[in-house]
Every structure is written in C-alpha cells, then in structure tokens.
Amino acid sequence: MPTQIVMDHTGDSRTYFDARDVQARANAEARFKKLVARGFTAAVRTKAGEVTRVSAFDPNAEETLFFPRLVGG
C-alpha cells in the first residue's frame, strides 16, 4: 500500500492510501501538493537506503518521503 512519510521536528508521520481508490488517491495528491508548496522536499525510495527527488505525485510509488526545508542559524 503506498505510504506518504512526513519528517518533521517531532519525528515522522505516515499516511497510507489505496491507489485504486479515486478519492484516497486525490487526497494523497492534494497532500503532496500542499507539502511541496510549504517547502518540503519530496523523494521516492528506490532501493533500501536510496531516494530520488521527485516534483510530481506518483500514486504508484511505494513510499514517498517528505523532508522539511533546512533552516540554518
């Protein structure tokens, strides 16, 4: 089942969705667009320990990771 994993200062949260369900897929795509618009970097896990940055929603990606923008100080 496809998973969206959002990393933040509290750890991570996971949202699972059924890619065959039209409404669930639409909600996941809206979540993707919202997070990217807020500055998160989206990446898809390609192999164990490897990720590839993506700029478009892929409902068939097994795991999509969202990393927050780094802030220096």
Question: pTM to 2 decimals?
Answer: 0.88
C-alpha distances out from residue 15 to 1, 66, 71, 72, Å: 10, 12, 25, 29
State residue 9 phi and psi, 5-degree precision.
-65, -15
* Residue 46 confidence (pLDDT): 83
* Residue 73 confidence (pLDDT): 62
* Residue 9 confidence (pLDDT): 84
Mean pLDDT in consecutive groups of 10 residues from the start of the chain, 73 residues: 93 95 98 97 88 95 92 67
* Helix, strand and coil in the chain, % to nearest 5: 20, 40, 40
